[in-house]
Amino acid sequence: MKPTRLRAWRNSTTLRFVALYLFATASSGVIVFGFVYRASERLIGQEFRQIVAADRAEIGASFARGGEAAAAALVRERMLGDPDRVYLLARPDGTAAAGNLGSWPPTLGPGEQWRIMRLYRRDLPEAQEIGLATAPLPGGWRLAAGRSMSDVDRLRRSLEGSLTGALLIGLPLGLAGAALLVYFVNGRVRHVADVAAQVGQGDFARRIETVGTHDPFDRLGRALNDMFGRIETLLRELTTLSDSLAHDLRSPLTRIRARAESALGASRTPQVQANLQALLAETDRMLKMLSDTLQVSRAEAGIGRERFEAVELGALIDDLADMYGPAAEDAGATLAAQAPAAPVLVMGNRQLLAQAVSNLIENALRYGAEGGSIRLSLEPQPEGVRLVVADRGTGIAPEHRDEALKRFGRLDPARSKDGSGLGLALVGAVARLHGGRVALEDNRPGLRAVIELPAA
């Protein structure tokens, strides 16, 4: 895996979500294990204390009734019935009269209610943890009744083994659960993102599917659908306004141009003819600006998407190279097209794509013909294709390229020739309509104008 992809995966929300889910699952298991262990240990401890307290009381009562012999007999009887029981009937000097402890521990008091100590029994080779309760007896005798804590150790080992097994089983189950949850969440988010991307590309009829559950996803979907509907309405109103404005302005401009042509034909005064020719040029420029503005607005509103079809870009750039070849020769440059042998297909509006590439060629002829070479080329990519128009002119400085892509973007003094400032804006609008983008790159020297389009 490449380092950049590895870093992206490490920083992905999906990985963090899975890690958080597994951490929460494991933490819950450990907490439950700890609670069960503590509760079991406390319950067993309480039971042991009750058993030991009862033994102490019964043996003490037996000593009071029958003396040493009766108490010793009861101790031996109890040890035969349960090997985990521990007793010590000690003489005043601490030596054992009965029981399975060798002698009275020096640190053990005669009136302990419950104390856990690690001691050696006479019948076992290894020391054990033993819970003890003690009582003083008449004549300086002492009694210690207790129970081995081996049951608690067995419980601990059993719970630890159970926890290990649960983790080994729970980890794949947790991964499966996290994967299902991530799949569901990602599916909903992907649907929202896809619809938002399609709306952003001009398909304003798209809407997010809702199921009526009133959960956060449904509320988000309804809110975005309302926003998309509002955007669609505003853009339709803007398109209608632009169409009406362009129509209202085109008609008087066309009449002005017609009258100027008529006056130019009737005039014999050089100064008047020059003024009329300048008026005709300005009128033509205004008409082109209106046409370009209308085209940009229509493309940004998604108009033209309904005429999408499979377009073979190699044939498209060959046709445009033939069309603009004579103009390039007149400008003192050569225009060549280079396309792969295999067809390069995109889904799009052929007329709009041709208009966008034509704008790039005209820009190259206007600003880059002095370099002597203009090249059209296609660069297939894993996810689409790059359509490149490259010239060898003065180019555009990197800090000015964003400005050049804006509406009415004019770069002075680098590009001071006549132009409406809408050519690259139209190219960008057409690229976005097709799910792509426009980039301006350095050709060293000159400029590479690139239209990036997704594959069909």
Residue 8 within any structural domain of the chain: no
- The answer to whether residues 262 and 319 belong to one domain is no
Residues 311 and 288 in one domain: no
342: Cα separation from own chain's centroid: 36
Is 21 a member of any domain? yes
Question: Last residue of some domain: 300, 324, 356?
Answer: 300
Judgement on whether residues 287 and 314 belong to the same structural domain of the protein: no
> Domain range holding 413?
305-454
pTM over the 0.75 mark: no
Decide if 420 is inside a domain: yes
Q: Are residues 273 and 249 in the same domain?
A: yes
Q: What is the mean pLDDT of residues 271-281?
A: 83
Same domain for 285 and 374, yes or no, is no
State percent of the chain over pLDDT 70: 88
Q: Is residue 185 part of a domain?
A: no
Q: pLDDT band at 388, cuts 50/70/90?
A: very high
Instruction: Tell which phi-psi region holds residue 88, choosing left (phi > 0), alpha (psi between -120 and 50) or beta.
Output: beta
Among 254, 276, 300, the domain-final residue is 300
Is the distance from CB of 317 to CB of 339 less than 8 angstroms? yes
280 and 335: one domain?
Answer: no
Residue 36 lies in a domain: yes
Both 275 and 335 in one domain: the answer is no
| Closest by CA position to 369, among listed 330, 422, 323, 412 | 330
Peptide bond into 398 cis (omega under 30): no
Per-residue pLDDT of 29-66, as tens digits, reads 778 777 877 787 788 778 888 888 998 999 999 999 99
- Mean pLDDT of the chain, nearest integer: 82
- At 148, which helix (H) or strand (E)? strand 142-148
| Residue 255 sits in the same domain as residue 311 | no
Cα(397)–Cα(394) distance, integer angstroms: 9
The per-residue pLDDT for range 118-168, each reduced to its tens digit, is: 999 888 888 888 889 999 999 999 999 998 888 777 777 777 787 777 777
Among the residue ranges 280-289, 426-435, 447-456, the one predicted with the least confidence is: 280-289
- 65-86 pLDDT, tens digit per residue, is 999 999 999 988 888 878 888 9
Residues 45 and 145 placed together within one structural domain of the fold: yes
* Boundary (domain end) residue, out of 269, 300, 331: 300
Q: How many folded domains does the chain comprise?
A: 3
Q: Are residues 76 and 141 in the same domain?
A: yes
Separation of first and last alpha carbons in the chain: 27
In a shared domain, residues 287 and 259: yes
Q: Are residues 277 and 295 in the same domain?
A: yes
